[in-house]
């Protein structure tokens, strides 16, 4: 099938995060299309809508086919303007809101920004506290405070511990610590003994592993040509840490082909931590 | 209106992020309902679906009314099991995918995990690089490297710089630095002069401000009863920084009642930085 070029617009009264998340999950189901993406967040006046309408029409003319428009717009007078453009609109609110009204026996509030905004005043503090915890306990710092950790990620250098901890903190408000497994740990105990500081908190540990080839690639970006980045060293460290995880029954995950979002969701699912999705 | 108690289920083949985003943005439009939330991610077998079906039926009995179910399930045989439960299903894929197929003249791939998973292999490295940049340039560290920053957030202590930078890095892959405005800066120049190190990078600056009352509240969590946390000190610092932002035409945002997601989206929108939503 030949490559199509299409334009997609994400329209929202507020951040546009919902429209983008939903549209993206639908469009990734289609191959062989090159997408030109236009974000129009904070679309809160008829004048702004008029400008977007023109932009849509220009894209339709340029592409030779009408753009797809994903909308979470709440105000009918703004949506009306967009409907006059040459496009196919997928309206996330109108599509579902009537059936939900029916089910809940009440009209919806038609107030923008409830999802990512005002309501989250309290969760803000919880998330900030979690981020502060993650930063204060990154890379094995302050292991004496591991009692307060909800989870402790472990793995060799560049196995993805820090970004995953930050994501768990920001998105789910979870106090996530991490502890690096080092070549010193490995050399000190070929028999794969868990570092002493981790033994009292073993139940909170979760291991991150990946293919030696990917670790080699990631480390080479940082220190090209080094012993640290060599494929042989990477393979040895990975083999050692996986045998450690297995020996101590530490749950672990191969992150080679998955995103930070997926890694985080899988960790929450397997460890039984309560999910609290914010944002 | 009296308070309703209802249960909502989020069902997905993979992380459940899309289902939760959709359901959450719809349900926040309704007041006076206490929601019991059940997440069932990685629902990838008929057996697991059977267990969820029973869970839905129990919730329906307990609540005295049927649960709402938001689904991004792709496999019909799994959805079939759920449809036998006592619930109202909002099926995100089925609702939209046919019209998109029609519009794009091709069938969808019906492959789970495309949105938050496999496809993001390359963006992974970009996001990790951005996070490393944020961590290496937090709180005014390494101001000589500000050349590489795409944006530099500034504001007084606890104005939300670090979490916002981390969110910009994780969610959008943006290299965001931050630089704190301190009481020393304030005392040294009552006339509100921009700290010298920021002058060459003025065009990249974005200010974060908030109400003195909220700053007082946040600082009091950290150092209760201190001069640092006093309302008078907070009010003085806020007044000073806002006059600084105004004097130098630095765009700034009052973050008092908005979430990290909104702060980030507004900053991107105002600064004209290219959005690249991942995840």
Q: Which residues of A touch B261 (CB under 8 A)?
A: 15, 17, 116, 279
Q: How far apart are CA B173 and CA B217, in angstroms?
A: 31
- Crossing angle for the helix pair A92-104 and B17-27, to the nearest 10 degrees: 60
Both B18 and B87 in a single domain? yes
Chain B contacts in chain A segment 183-202 (CB below 8 A): none
- Cβ of A24 within 8 Å of Cβ of B131? The answer is no
B39, B74, B104 — which closes off a domain? B104
Q: Which residues of A touch B278 (CB under 8 A)?
A: 259
Test the B interface: residue of A4, A31, A135, A260 with most B CBs within 10 Å:
A260
B111 touches chain A (CB under 8 A): yes
Residue at A110 is within a domain: no
Task: State how far residue A118 is from chain B, nearest Cα, in angstroms.
Answer: 6
Q: Which residues of A touch B170 (CB under 8 A)?
A: 163, 166-167, 170, 260
Residue at A249 is within a domain: yes
Both A31 and A59 in a single domain? yes
Both A97 and A141 in a single domain? no
Report pLDDT for B62. 96
- Cβ of A117 within 8 Å of Cβ of B25? The answer is no
Beta bridge partners of A69: A9, A89
The predicted model gives A190-208 an average pLDDT of 89
Both B134 and B266 in a single domain? yes
Residue at A111 is within a domain: no
Q: Which residues of B touch A139 (CB under 8 A)?
A: none
Both A225 and A100 in a single domain? no
Asked whether the predicted pLDDT for residue A279 surpasses 50, the reply is no
Instruction: Label residues B67-81 b or e (16+ Cβ within 10 Å = b).
Output: bbbbbbbbeeebbeb
Mean pLDDT of successive 10-residue stretches along chain B, which has 279 residues: 84 90 90 90 95 98 96 94 97 93 90 59 74 88 87 95 93 92 78 86 96 94 93 96 94 90 90 68
The domain spanning residue A209 has which CATH number? 3.40.50.300
Q: Is A191 exposed, middle or buried (0-12, 13-18, 19+ CB in 10 A)?
A: exposed
* Between A183 and A153, residue with greater pLDDT: A153
B88 touches chain A (CB under 8 A): yes
- Cβ of A275 within 8 Å of Cβ of B124? The answer is no
Both A128 and A256 in a single domain? yes
A60, A75, A104 — which closes off a domain? A104
Chain B contacts in chain A segment 137-156 (CB below 8 A): none
Three-state SS sequence of B25-89: HHHCCCCCEEEEEEEECCCCCHHHHHHHHHHHHHHHHHHCCCCEEEECCCCHHHHHHHHCCCCEE
Residue at A113 is within a domain: no
Q: Which residues of A touch B93 (CB under 8 A)?
A: 26
Residue at A63 is within a domain: yes
| CA A115 to mean position of chain CA atoms | 17
Both B30 and B128 in a single domain? no
A133 touches chain B (CB under 8 A): no
A60 touches chain B (CB under 8 A): no
Report pLDDT for B153. 97
Q: How far apart are CA A47 and CA A50, in angstroms?
A: 5
**Residue ranges making up the domain that contains B43:** 4-104
For residue B259, give the chain A residue with the closest CA: A117
Report pLDDT for B259. 84
pLDDT by residue (tens digit) across B193-242? 888 899 999 999 999 999 999 999 999 988 999 999 999 999 999 999 99
Asked whether the predicted pLDDT for residue A278 surpasses 60, the reply is no
Both A78 and A165 in a single domain? no
Q: Which of B20, B92, B103 sits opposite A88 (nearest CB)?
A: B103
Both A198 and A166 in a single domain? yes
Asked whether the predicted pLDDT for residue A223 surpasses 90, the reply is yes
Token pair 């401000």 is at which residue?
B209
Both B60 and B194 in a single domain? no
Pairs of residues, one from chain A and one from chain B, whose beta carbons lie less than 8 Å apart? 213
- Cβ of B29 within 8 Å of Cβ of A4? The answer is no
Three-state SS sequence of A21-61: HHHHHHHCCCCCEEEEEEEECCCCCHHHHHHHHHHHHHHHH
pLDDT by residue (tens digit) across A72-113? 999 999 999 999 999 999 999 999 999 999 999 999 987 776
Question: Is the backbone of residue A178 left (phi > 0), alpha (psi -120 to 50) or beta?
Answer: beta
The domain spanning residue A39 has which CATH number? 3.40.50
Residue at B57 is within a domain: yes
Asked whether the predicted pLDDT for residue A118 surpasses 50, the reply is no
Report the domain count for chain A: 2
Asked whether the predicted pLDDT for residue A28 surpasses 80, the reply is yes
A126 touches chain B (CB under 8 A): no
Q: What is the mean pLDDT of chain A?
A: 89
Report pLDDT for B116. 56
Report pLDDT for B191. 64
Residue at A43 is within a domain: yes
Task: State how far residue A223 is from chain B, nearest Cα, in angstroms.
Answer: 14
Chain A contacts in chain B segment 1-20 (CB below 8 A): 1, 4, 6, 14-18, 20
- Cβ of A167 within 8 Å of Cβ of B167? The answer is no
Both A166 and A251 in a single domain? yes
A104, A128, A152 — which closes off a domain? A104
The pLDDT-based confidence of A191 (bands split at 50, 70, 90) is low
- Cβ of A109 within 8 Å of Cβ of B31? The answer is yes
Report pLDDT for A189. 62
Report pLDDT for A154. 97
Both B123 and B258 in a single domain? yes
């Amino acid at each position: 099938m030949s490559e199509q070029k299409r334009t997609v617009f994400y329209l929202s009264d507020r951040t546009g995060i919902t429209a983008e998340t939903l549209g993206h999950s639908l469009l990734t189901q289609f191959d062989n299309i090159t997408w030109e993406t236009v974000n129009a967040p904070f679309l809160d006046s008829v004048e702004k809508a008029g400008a977007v309408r023109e932009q849509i029409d220009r894209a339709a003319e340029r592409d030779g086919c009408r753009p797809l428009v994903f909308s979470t717009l709440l105000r009918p007078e703004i949506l009306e303007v967009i409907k006059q453009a040459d496009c196919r609109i997928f309206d996330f609110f109108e599509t579902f809101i009537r059936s939900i009204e029916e089910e809940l026996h009440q009209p919806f509030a038609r107030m923008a920004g409830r999802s990512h905004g005002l309501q989250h005043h309290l969760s803000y503090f919880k998330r900030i506290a979690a981020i502060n915890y993650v930063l204060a306990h990154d890379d094995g710092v302050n292991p004496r405070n591991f009692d307060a950790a909800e989870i402790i990620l472990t793995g060799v250098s560049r196995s993805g511990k820090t970004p995953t901890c930050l994501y768990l903190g920001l998105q789910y408000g979870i106090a996530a610590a991490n502890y690096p497994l080092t070549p010193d740990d490995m050399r000190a105990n070929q028999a794969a003994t868990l570092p002493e500081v981790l033994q009292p908190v073993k139940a909170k540990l979760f291991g991150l592993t990946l293919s030696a080839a990917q670790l080699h690639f990631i480390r080479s970006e940082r220190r090209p040509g080094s012993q640290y980045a060599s494929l042989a060293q990477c393979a040895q460290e990975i083999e050692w840490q996986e045998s450690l995880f297995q020996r101590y029954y530490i749950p672990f995950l191969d992150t080679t082909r998955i995103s930070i979002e997926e890694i985080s969701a899988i960790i929450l699912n397997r460890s039984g931590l309560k999910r609290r999705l914010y944002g």
